[in-house]
Each structure stands twice: as structure tokens, then as C-alpha cells.
Structure 1
Amino acid sequence: MNWKIIFCFTLLSMLETSSSSKIYNVDPSGYVLYCPCMGRFGNQADHFLGSLAFAKALDRTLALPPWVEYRYGEPKSVQVPFTTYFKIEPLESFHKVMPMEDFMEQIAPTVWPPGNRTVFCYMPRGNPDSESCNAKEGNPFGPFWDTFDVDFNRSVFYGPLNYDVIHHNMGDAWRDKYSSEDYPVLAFTGAPASFPVQEENRRLHRYLEWSDDIDQRAEEFIRNALPKGAFIGIHLRNGPDWERACEHIDSTPSLFAAAQCLGYRNEYGRATQEMCLPSRETILQQTRKAIKDYSAKSIFVASDSDHMIDELKKEFKRMNVSVHRMPNPVPQVDLAILGRSNYFIANCISSFSAFAKRERDIKGIPSGFWAFPQKPQNIQNSSSRSDEL
């Protein structure tokens, strides 16, 4: 069988099995793959923006990973294709990307075949004596790679290199040490990015556009469930895990996404309990002010636990303001609705709030935070960072 017949057979197989109708050529500059294995959607979105910047600095195609979700009753994480929530075309206007499903179907058999798959990590993971990244140890690591039937044959420890391609010549360092000829695929145990998202990478959010399905569901809710007129969007992060996390706010003033309102060097204040877990009084007071400022007719509430629907309805009944939530909340649709509100009150510490805030900043529409701004005080810098639960 000559090479032309082989090529035609391979092309036909791609068309039959690929998750999209697009056929991708092999990128001689190589690829970046990673498991979005830290936290839930808000954290993963922060990491995605940094990973996109990292791939561009190395001029490698970024394989768009599925979103990792943890669903009630499921013993393992569930991987949701990237395109379920976002469009690819806007990202392609910034850099080379392709769905990970298409990479595995079309590209991996040639450049990253089974039996020749290397995984990268900073240092040995798990047992330090194992000299391995143990890339599939634990949930969601194992389920993520099992989604694509990936097993690793070798581990590479890339320290002391890092992911900061903005302030150092780190892109050149990566290319020099791990050339695309020797390493066509850089597959990482976690995202090649920092959390929270670096300040310089916040702008990349403009290339994240909701899928038609998410857009349509948000628009239908606004059109059918909310009265005509302006509405206020609020995010109430108040579940038990969040309450426990907020107990550490005094010792970790840069907790989670706090930099979005306090600055990356705490130049605008210091995180407080009230910012992390606002009181009923703060919520009602700020919501009332927003209603008056924007002549709002309704309030939309997104929450991980207590939406405070009854309290809010009772409080604003005399103002003829209705209160709404999605009957079966989908986080991404909640975010799309918050992004369309006339005014949004966010939780400064939450990376979920941070997603909506970045989207609104790109659009140039106003947002605020619970219990912020605050009175000036002496600030001590802190570089502490954590994973939002």
C-alpha cells in the first residue's frame, strides 16, 4: 500500500471519528496539554487564561481541555468538552487552539502515540521517592486522563523553570530546554499557570465567548423570567465550605481572587470577614442602593447555597422589585446572566465572581463588591495564594 492510499485512509478515519468537522494539520511548533485539576469552574477559568498566555509565548498550539466538574452522586469527576460552554473562533483570533478531543483523535496518533507519552511536573508528585509525576494519582487526575485513554511512560521534572512568561524570558528558556523536535507535546499534570490569574492576563478574557447554547439559555431566562427593565445581579457565596474558608481570611489576606478588588499587592486594602462572607445587613443595604441607582425592577441571585430569596422578596416588596433565581442552576448560565445585569455586586474573594467581573470589565459595564471599598488602613503585602473550594 503506497503513501497516498495510507493518507486517504487516515483522512477518512479522521472525518468519521473526529469530534468536529474541522481537520487540523500537525503544528511543527508543538502542543501544550494539561489537566485543569485545581478547584471548580472559577479556578479553572483563571488557570485557562494563564495557560493560553503560556502556550502563545511558546508558540505551541493549546489543546483546549474539557472542564472538570464534580457532580453530586458521581464518584469521579466528569469531563465536559470545552466547546459546551465556549466558542473556539474568538480564541483562534488570539492564538492557535484546538479541542483536546480533536487533538487526541487527529494529532496524537502521529506525534504522541501510546507508549511514547511523557508528562511534565515541577518535581516528583506524591511519593518523593518514586521519581514520577504520578500524573493519574487521585481524582480528578486519573479520571481526566482516562477520558482520553492516556497512560504516561515517562516523567520530566521541569524545575527550576516556571510559567511566568510575562516578567522573564521564560518562553525562550522553555523552547531552548524542551524543543518541539524533541518534545512535540508538553503535557502537564496541572495547568501551566498561576492562581489567581496574573494581572496582565486578565485582558485575555475578551477571547472567552459563551457558546450559542449558554447565550440562548441566559437570554431566554432574562426574557421570560424577569420583568422588563433594569435588573441587579448579585452573587452570594455562602456554602459551608466557603464559611470555613473565610475563617482564614485574617491570616491569608490574598485568599483566592481577592486581588480583583484589593490589588495584587494589597494596595487597595486588606481582605475582611465582611468581604468574604457579607452579613445580611450589608447585602440588603448594598442591594437597596443599587436598585435605587439603576431604577431596577428585579434582582437576579446566583449562589452556591442560600439564595436568600424569601428575605430579599420581603425586604424589597414595597419597592415593587421582584427577586429571581434559576430553578435548577447551571453555573455557566448563572454567570452569563450576571454578565448581562445592569449592575453586578460580586464577592471580592470568589473566583466565580471574578469570572463575571472580568467579562463585565471587558464590556465596560459597572460592577461592585460586597463591603468594598473600605476605609484606608495600613496594609502589609502578602503573597499567600490558595485554591478556592
Structure 2
Amino acid sequence: MSISIFIISQIYGIDPRRVNFDYLSMAQTKVIRIDNRFNSIHFFCIFNFKRPCMTVTDCNFDRNIEPDFKNKHGHEVTSDSEIAQKQQQRMPNQSKANRLGLVVLILLCFVTESSQKHEWDERGYIIFCLCMGRFGNQAEHFLGGLAFAKKIDRTLIVPPFRTYKNIEFDEWFKLEPLKDYHRVILAKDFMRDLAPTHWPPGNRTGVCYGKPDRECEMKEGNPFGPFWDGLGVDFDKTMSVEAYYGDPEGWKDLLPVDKFPVVALRGAPAPFPIAEKNIPLAKYLQWSESIEEEANSHIQKLTGGDKFIGIHLRNGIDWQNACEHVEGNENYMASPQCLGYKRDKKVTHKMCFPPKEEILRLTKNAVLRTKAKHIYVATDKNPMKEDLENHLKSLKVKVHHLDPWLPQIDLAILGKSDLFIGNCISSFTSFVSRQRLVQDKPTEFWGFS
């Protein structure tokens, strides 16, 4: 793995904490401060712990005390006070000039950023905009696009998710599990390491679905324009192709690798809702360490490790309007997650916008069956906390609702519940139900179970 080392000298009040390291993933880095307590000179070493051979001695300017700075794995150091004491004991007569000279020497030698070298894949690449709806929809399109990349045997340039800005995949999920299924590279890594040589400006073609004479507006409107702008991509020309994502050979014929080494699609090459055959791919979407840690921390604080039921309530006015005319449809939004793909069952209004009585009924039923003492509610509007607590008062059940800063925290918590009850029509629910399906965890649905 790559190692990025930044050694920063803080002299006379310059606070290194003000230095912006936002582009470093907090899940992959650790900061170690070495303070010699002389004249406020501090060293900060930031590096990736996936290289076990990398130790704090690579940041320390006193090579003589390296055994005291690491454990047998070379990963940890002693406390600041212990480090300062050792340095004071071994360098009592070192002059300020020498120390500053060492700082300059280290800066000259080590202030570098080395990145993992990605080799060009002659089989070609594919990238697409995850530009349909919110995260739940984007996740379904991502899994479909991942499957499509494998079918046409091109490396997937893993696209960012789209909120009001681009969110790199590895902020929310681990990249490594995807590699167990197919070849992948993060979009930011591709644009930095490979695009300048192999997909430079002047040679970038955007591709849309449609008849060849149809205009292809790759960056027209939001989120399309901001998505590609976030990657620093402008298209020199565009084209439309009449192909279906269920026909990989047709795509290969229309867009051969020798002429189109990178296929950039306006939208995901996948259906919504997700194709049934692609549901098992959910096992490759694994939360990043930071998401896992925050979700586990909330669960421990709220439940103390006891059993809990997770429920998802969609009851905002926009959802209420979306459910007005669902009655009798064979397929509506994410409904196959509970109705299946045979189209032999009908969507009901009760499934889409369950009344209070249905929510209280099924929740109490679940509590009685699981003996859970906690309920965690994720919602877009009303958590119904008071209604649930009153209805379950005799069972001494506590109801929790966080409304976290990031919806993915809700999703991670719901995925860890002992029983999950969700909305059959919602793709927010479908993300959780897929994750639980591949982990063999139970899921139920309002108005259906």
C-alpha cells in the first residue's frame, strides 16, 4: 500500500492542526505526535498503517531511541511525556541550531507524497454517473453497474456517490471487498494516476443510451454537470449508442477497447429496481471502518448490547404523495424486495404508507416474538416515538431515534438490528434488506408481514 508522509515543523506558535488533510481518509490514517519539548518544535507523521514495516522511527529525528518508540509490531508509541523524557535524557546538550538543522534535513528528505502505482489495464475501463435519486437508488444502480463491468470485462472506475457534492466511495465503504468480485479502481485514483496519460483532455468521449442521431448531453443539468465537474472531466465529443445493458456482447461490438479505452456513460448501465440476479452482490458493499465504529458506538450507548428492533418509517409529505396512486400496481419503486420479481402480487397503499395502527401492531408483535427491550427508529419525518412508547409501555421497551448527521449511520444501525421492519416500496429500506439477506438476518415489511 502507498505511504504518504508529511512532516511539519511547528515553530513559535504555528498550529499544525490548522493544516488541511481532508483528502486523507481518517479510516486509513493515524497521527502520531513527537514532541521534544524544546522551543515548541513538533513533528507530525501521518501514514497508512497497512504497511506494518512502517514505524514511528521514520518520523523521529533521534535514531538512537527507536526501540522505545514502538511495540513488537512497530505500530504504537509510548506517551508524549515518556517520549519527551527520553529525548531530554539523551539530548541534553543539543543546540537549537542543530535541532532546526535536523528539521530542515528531514523536510528536504521526507516531505513527499508517494502514491500507489496503478498499472494501465489493456482490457479497458468503464465509469458512469450515479445520478438517479438519493443514496438508496444510487446503491442499486451501483451494484448493477458493477455486474455490468464484469460482463463486458472492463475495470470499473468506481464512481463517487452524489449528494450536494461528490462523495468518494471509500468514505462510506471499503474498496477491497469489491476486488473479490471484479477489478476496480477509485475514480480519484484513476483521474490522478492514469487519466493524464491514457485518457487525457482532448480524447474524452461521453456515451449516452439512445439512437445514434440522438444528442448526448453528458453534463446537462444537475446532478450530471456537477458530477463530472467534481472529477475534473470535460468531454471533447459525445455519442449515443443503441444498446441494452443486458447485451454485453453488443456493447463490446459498438465500443471496442482499441477505440474506446474508457467508456464514460451518462447514467448507470443497470435497471431500477435492482435485477434479482444482482442482489447477492450486496455482500461486497461493506461499511468503512469509520461508519462501522460510529454505528457500533451508538448501538452500545443506546442498548448496552441488548437485543433491539430496527424500524424504518417513511412518512414525509413527499412520500405520502408518492403513495397516493400505488394501489394495484404489480411493480412500484423497490417493491420487488417483498413482492418478488414474478409480478404475481399487487402493491397496496398500506404497504407504501402504513397507518399508525399497522405500525403499532407489527412493532408490538415483533417485540413479543424477539423479547427485545429496545427499538431504533430511522425516519424521514416523524419517528412516532411517543406513540410507540405508550403502546409498548407494559413491555418496558425503550424507543430511540438519533437523526444522525449522515443517513448511512441509520442504515448501518438498522442492518445490525436483531429484527428489521421496513417499507417495501422504499429503496432506503431495500439497501438494508439486501444487506441483511446476504447475512441471513430477518426482515419484515409494513402492510405485508
Range into which the TM-score falls when normalised by the shorter chain = 0.7 to 0.9
1:252, distance to aligned residue in structure 2 (A) = 4.1
- One of 38, 41, 54 as aligned partner of 2:148: 54
Q: Is the 8 A contact 2:128 2:266 kept in 1?
A: yes
Query: Are residues 1:95 and 2:182 paired?
Result: yes
1:327 to partner: Cα distance: 4.5
Q: 1:342 aligns with which of 402, 414, 418?
A: 418
> Structure 1 runs of 4+ off > 4 angstroms?
15-18
Is 1:186 aligned with 2:263?
Answer: yes
Q: 1:17, CA displacement in angstroms?
A: 7.0
Per-residue deviation, 1:241: 1.1
Residue in 2 that maps onto 1:40: 134
Give 1 or 2 for the bigger CA radius of gyration. 2
Pairwise CA RMSD: 1.7
3-state SS, counterpart of residue 206 of structure 2 = strand
- C-alpha distance in structure 1 between counterparts of 2:446 and 2:150, whole Å: 35
1:146-185 superposed matches below 5 A: 146-159=229-242, 161-164=243-246, 170-185=247-262
Between the aligned partners of 2:141 and 2:305, the Cα distance in structure 1 is 37
Residue segments in structure 2 that go unaligned for 5+ positions in a row: 1-110
Deviation per residue, 1:329-368 (Å, 9 max, x gap): 4211111111110000011001110010011111111111
Q: Among 273, 284, 304, which residue is 1:207 paired with?
A: 284
Q: Shift of residue 151 of structure 1?
A: 1.0
Deviation at 1:133, TM superposition (A): 1.3
The separation in 1 between residues aligned to 2:343 and 2:118, in whole angstroms, is: 44
Relative contact order higher in (CA < 8 Å, ≥ 6 apart): 1
2:223 alignment partner, one of 120, 125, 140: 140
- 5+ long unaligned stretches in structure 1: 1-14, 70-76, 165-169, 374-389
CA contact (8 A) 1:227 1:298 kept: no
Q: In structure 2, what is the equivalent of residue 196 of structure 1? A: 273
The 2-side partners of 1:23 and 1:207 are apart by: 24
Cα deviation 1:172-230 (Å, max 9, x = unaligned): 22222211111001101111111011000001111110000010011000111224421
Q: How many residues align?
A: 339
Residues in 2 aligned to 1:229 and 1:148: alpha-carbon distance in whole angstroms: 44
CA distance in 2 between partners of 1:291 and 1:197 (Å): 31
The residue type paired with residue 181 of structure 2 is: F
Contact 2:328/2:347 (<8 A) preserved: no
- Which secondary structure state, in structure 1, belongs to the residue aligned with residue 395 of structure 2? coil
Q: Which residue of structure 1 aligns with residue 207 of structure 2? A: 120
One-letter amino acid of the structure 1 residue matched with residue 277 of structure 2? E
Length-normalised TM-score, structure 1? 0.84
1:80 equivalent in structure 2: 167
Q: What one-letter code is carried by the residue in structure 1 that aligns with 2:275?
A: Q
* 1:265 CA displacement: 2.5
Alignment partner, residue 220 of structure 1:
297
Q: Deviations over 1:287-342 (max 9, x none)?
A: 00000100001000011111111211222122110000114342111111111100
Question: What is the identity percentage for the equivalent residue pairs of Structure 1 and Structure 2?
Answer: 47
In structure 2, how many angstroms separate the alpha carbons of the residues matched to 1:61 and 1:23? 16
Q: Which moved more, 1:187-196 or 1:308-317?
A: 308-317
